Chains A and B, each alone.
Chain A
Amino acid sequence: MTCLALWMPQLDQIFVTASHWLLSYLPAALQPLASAILSVAAIIVAFATLFALTTLLERKGLGRMQNRYGPNRVGPCGLFQPLADGVKSLTKEDIVPIRADRAVHFMAPVLLVAASFMGYAVLPIGRNMIMVDMNAGVLFFFAVGSLMELAVFMAGWSSRSKYSLLGAMRAIAQMISYEVPLVLASIVVLMQAGSLSTVSIVNMQASYSGIWPHWFVFTPWGFAGFVLFMIAATAESNRSPFDLPEGESEIIAGYYTEYSGFKFALFFLGEYIGMFATSGMAITLFLGGWSAPFSFLAWVPSYLWFFAKLLTIIAIFIWVRGTLPRLRMDQLMNLAWQFMLPMTLFNLIIAGVWHFMPGGLLRWLVCSTMVVVPCILFGGGLKRKKKFQIRTYHFSQ
């Protein structure tokens, strides 16, 4: 047990020491560039593997929830299914519609994947394991996330097809509407942490009082913020129940109807990578990043905790996908503007109250009430019955 205690800090920093050792073989002038390339390669390998694993886990998980097996033919328990999917998408014919805008049609998936991968630069995956420690890291993350909307528009417009255009309009409207609650939900954390740097936010949460961690999710405003952030993240990455822009039974495939083969796989990849990046940001902001949930578990390497939390969030995404029906466009918009936006603004006030009240039970009671009551009121407001009017048809003369 003691030798384990001696080895664990080394194991925790094993990737850092390995990269320093590799870089020591290069001249000093090339070292920053090589270090950047090494980090980029590591991120791409790790998260692309996680993407492959997630597609398999999602299909098997959804299958079990729907009383059936998932894929189980291609390897033991279907483990080589992602490989088969990859081969399929690479060998399919790449069809570009004859009226499509070829240059923009090609650039759209490239931009989507590039924008999704850029978000990982500011996620601290382990202790001292962040690619670029920026002063304004959280702002960088949201800036890069807003590039995805442009990519969606490019995909939808360049295909010159009505399904693509409709899907693109809906997708952009949805992504813009949910970006506001996403950013506002993270502002409460920035208020508490006093910094935009992800490393300092995680370091603030990495301490313990007794065995309980100081994660922000264990406070009333943090819990509300986490739930709102996760709902907005689900909507940002066009996942069920917010997948109207790409729902197969509604609009064929929305903005990527006219894509086939590898470009389709790139869209899929870009969406999932964006989902992982947003989950990683949620983990960094609310769930304490790479820190362990209890102080006696702190000997486990930090990157393992990050990926454990990421896998838990992915499991919850899959669970929600298997449970909830798809939201209609107007229900989606109502949820964003009439529930999530007021709740996030209220959350800011609650975080302020928490900051200025002295610690203790009263603070907990007041803030919890301030979270629960508006939630019920706004939720009740959403359920208000819509008055339907007699439908008038406007036919063209």
Chain B
Amino acid sequence: MTASFMILAVLTVAGTVSAMGLRNAVHCVLALALSFAGIAMLYLQLGAQFVGFTQILVYVGAVAILAVFAIMMTHNDKPMALPDSHAAWVAGCVVAVAVFAVLTRAIVSSTTAVQIQTQTVAPQPGVTVQQIGDALLHRFVVPLEIMGVLLTAALIGAVVIAMDRREEMK
């Protein structure tokens, strides 16, 4: 529980809460981008350089831009109205508490969490990019190829949809 962890944790949680609570859609997306950046810095603090930088590159640089494009295309200037009914609030709170309970149990009872609680030494960057690359191409090569196929299918699907719409417009 170092000072830097507290600051980053507060930043991330504040970003996420603002993303849910702000009225303006664009402000919500920017707050979400801030929380992504906070998570990336938490990864860096743990010594996982590759994951941290990829988090920034992918989430802030691509996913946030995607959300932003969606808002730009739909031109949602009006602030979103809050839900009126009481039942929706209660159901939402129940689901959120349930998910939080499951996640906390999973994290606390995992093996690495127990190790960090008992040790006080700062974590060394024991995993280099080279090791990640080796693991991806030796041990996890099948998931890698499946993800590649999935991404290619998504890309081709997007192109097909866009092309269809353009031919319809002619």
Taking a contact as CB atoms under 8 Å apart, the answer to whether A176 and B65 are in contact is: yes
Interface flag for B9 (CB, 8 Å): no
Given contacts A136-B49, A154-B30, 16 further A-B contacts (CB under 8 A): A135-B129, A139-B129, A143-B53, A143-B56, A143-B60, A144-B56, A147-B56, A149-B65, A150-B68, A153-B65, A157-B26, A169-B72, A172-B68, A176-B65, A195-B130, A196-B129
Interface flag for A104 (CB, 8 Å): yes
Interface flag for B4 (CB, 8 Å): no
State the interface size on chain A (CB cutoff 8 A): 28
Cα A172 to Cα B49 in complex, Å, equals 27
Interface flag for A389 (CB, 8 Å): yes
Taking a contact as CB atoms under 8 Å apart, the answer to whether A149 and B69 are in contact is: no
Taking a contact as CB atoms under 8 Å apart, the answer to whether B30 and A104 are in contact is: yes
**Closest approach, in angstroms, between the C-beta of B160 and any C-beta of chain A?**
16
Interface flag for A101 (CB, 8 Å): yes
Instruction: Specify the chain A residue showing the minimal Cβ separation from B50.
Output: A136
Taking a contact as CB atoms under 8 Å apart, the answer to whether B27 and A135 are in contact is: no
Q: A101-B26, A136-B129 are in contact. Are A389 and B170 (CB under 8 A)?
A: yes
**B window 39-82: CB within 8 A of A:** 49-50, 53-54, 56-57, 60-62, 64-65, 68-69, 72
Taking a contact as CB atoms under 8 Å apart, the answer to whether B72 and A139 are in contact is: no
Cα A135 to Cα B50 in complex, Å, equals 9
Taking a contact as CB atoms under 8 Å apart, the answer to whether B64 and A150 are in contact is: yes
Interface flag for B33 (CB, 8 Å): yes
Contacts of A168 in B (CB 8 A): 72
Taking a contact as CB atoms under 8 Å apart, the answer to whether B62 and A146 are in contact is: yes
**Residue with the greatest number of chain B CB neighbours at <10 A, chosen from A172, A179, A196:** A196
B-side interface size class = 20 to 34
Contacts of A195 in B (CB 8 A): 129-130
User: C-beta contact mask, A128-146 vs B, less than 8 Å → 1, else 0?
Assistant: 0000001110011011101
**Closest approach, in angstroms, between the C-beta of B108 and any C-beta of chain A?**
30
Q: A147-B60, A196-B129 are in contact. Are A104 and B27 (CB under 8 A)?
A: yes
Taking a contact as CB atoms under 8 Å apart, the answer to whether A140 and B60 are in contact is: no
Q: A135-B125, A150-B64, A172-B65 are in contact. Are A142 and B57 (CB under 8 A)?
A: yes
Q: A136-B49, A139-B50, A147-B61 are in contact. Are A157 and B72 (CB under 8 A)?
A: yes
Taking a contact as CB atoms under 8 Å apart, the answer to whether A150 and B33 are in contact is: yes
Q: Is the interface of B mostly helix, strand, loop or mixed?
A: helix
Cα A139 to Cα B128 in complex, Å, equals 13
Cα A194 to Cα B27 in complex, Å, equals 41
Contacts of B33 in A (CB 8 A): 150
Cα A142 to Cα B50 in complex, Å, equals 12
Point out residues on B near A: beta carbons under 8 Å. 24, 26-27, 30, 33, 49-50, 53-54, 56-57, 60-62, 64-65, 68-69, 72, 125, 128-130, 170
Instruction: Specify the chain A residue showing the minimal Cβ separation from B49.
Output: A136
Point out residues on A near B: beta carbons under 8 Å. 101, 104, 134-136, 139-140, 142-144, 146-147, 149-150, 153-154, 157-158, 165, 168-169, 172, 176, 179, 194-196, 389
Cα A219 to Cα B60 in complex, Å, equals 35
Contacts of A142 in B (CB 8 A): 53, 57
Taking a contact as CB atoms under 8 Å apart, the answer to whether B129 and A143 are in contact is: no
Contacts of A150 in B (CB 8 A): 30, 33, 60-61, 64-65, 68
Instruction: Specify the chain A residue showing the minimal Cβ separation from B64.
Output: A150
Q: A146-B61, A147-B61, A154-B30 are in contact. Are A165 and B72 (CB under 8 A)?
A: yes
Q: A154-B30, A157-B72, A172-B69 are in contact. Are A139 and B53 (CB under 8 A)?
A: yes
